[in-house]
Amino acid sequence: MPSGSIDSSHPTLSSLSVLDRAKADQVVALCELCENHDGVAPLNEQALLTLNDGKIHDGIAHVVAEIDGQIVAYALLDSAIPDPQLGALSVAQFMVHPQHRRRGIAWQMAGSLGFDVRPEADADQAERHRAGLLISAWSFGNLPSARTWAEKYGAAPVRQLLIMRRPAAEVPAPRFDAGFTVRPFVEADMAQMLEVNALAFAHHPEQGQMSADDVRARMSEDWFDPEGFLVLEHQERVIGFHWTKQHSAQRGEVYVIGIHPEWSGRGLGRHLLNAGMQHLAQRGVDEIILYVEGDLEHVVRLYRTSGFEIINTDVLYRTTNRT
């Protein structure tokens, strides 16, 4: 549609198990448009990987809203995210073209997936929620519109993901005792690295489930730097890893860092953090960011004392059961 025009037509909704290449390209373009408009991406990395790979995934549904063949809104629903209280969560990510917002399209998409928490929801829908069929939705950057939506529909924040940043200059040199080695990851490390990841992120519903296929998918991305995927080894056993990511010439990221719980509390995490940041600094970036769960106070404290400051917050909202 021409820039600046608003089409008042009602969108056609389609629920799909997989997106073809043409639709995936449209969704990526819409994501970029929304990011430019809002200053924050509406979909996370995992969503983009999933919608782009052309595969059917258990528990994944895509919803597209189209007007005259043009996608004006998109939702991805993952119904297989483990949750300690509910067993599994249905977690959604929504985005709507800025010119088509405030028209209820996001809730039309949610309704097409079997969820509706509006006051006028019918008895069957309310019964589904009483049975525990709740939906959660990410608000990346926790924009004012998301806070308004949450208040209107009674959704409560249940999880916060902090985005932190520090300058890349003056990274302390990592220091490890004899017997510890930091080196680049190799394929033979996969099983041990995944074991460390699962144990270190047992509390994390997404990261803790990372598989070998997930690792290889990210290693095939353009940003992957083999020298920036570090493992910490002791007596030929991987006990930690720090995977870095370079977004641009200016920005790097502490992408994932984990220490085997048996080795936690010994200062190894801080030195492994410094090793990865030193690598990014040597690549010439100006700043380093990371994402961390807001309720992990000891980890947030580690990052604060390593020079990081909070610059933004992603919030996961969850609808509440109706009585």
> Is 194 assigned to a binding site?
no
Least confident range of 81-85, 196-200, 267-271, 284-288: 81-85
Tell whether residue 151 is among the known ligand binding residues. Answer: no
User: What residues contact residue 94 under an 8 Å CB cut-off, 6+ apart?
Assistant: 42, 73, 74, 75, 106, 109, 110, 137
* pTM recorded for the entire structure: 0.83
141 known ligand binder: no
Q: Is 259 annotated as a binding residue?
A: yes
Look up the CATH number of the domain holding residue 207. Answer: 3.40.630.30
pLDDT in tens, 212-230: 999 999 999 999 999 999 9
Shared domain for 63 and 149, answered yes or no, is yes
Last residue of a domain, one of 161, 187, 219: 161
Ligand-binding annotation for 267, yes or no, is yes
Does the annotation flag 206 for ligand binding?
Answer: yes
- Number of alpha carbons in the 13 Å side-chain half-sphere of residue 256: 21
Q: Judge whether 291 is annotated as a binding position.
A: yes
Residue 258 assigned as binding residue: yes
Domain region containing 25: 12-161
* pLDDT bracket for residue 22 (50, 70, 90): very high
- Establish whether 240 is an annotated binding residue: no
What distance in Å separates the CA atoms of residue 150 and residue 134, rounded to the nearest whole number? 14
264 is in an annotated binding site: yes
Q: Does residue 45 have a known ligand-binding role?
A: yes
Name the residue with higher pLDDT: 73 or 103: 73
Residue 242 maps to a domain: yes
**Same-domain status, 88 and 155:** yes
Q: Residue 23 annotated as binding? A: no
Asked whether residue 218 falls in the same domain as residue 151, the answer is: no
Q: What is the mean pLDDT of residues 180-202?
A: 96
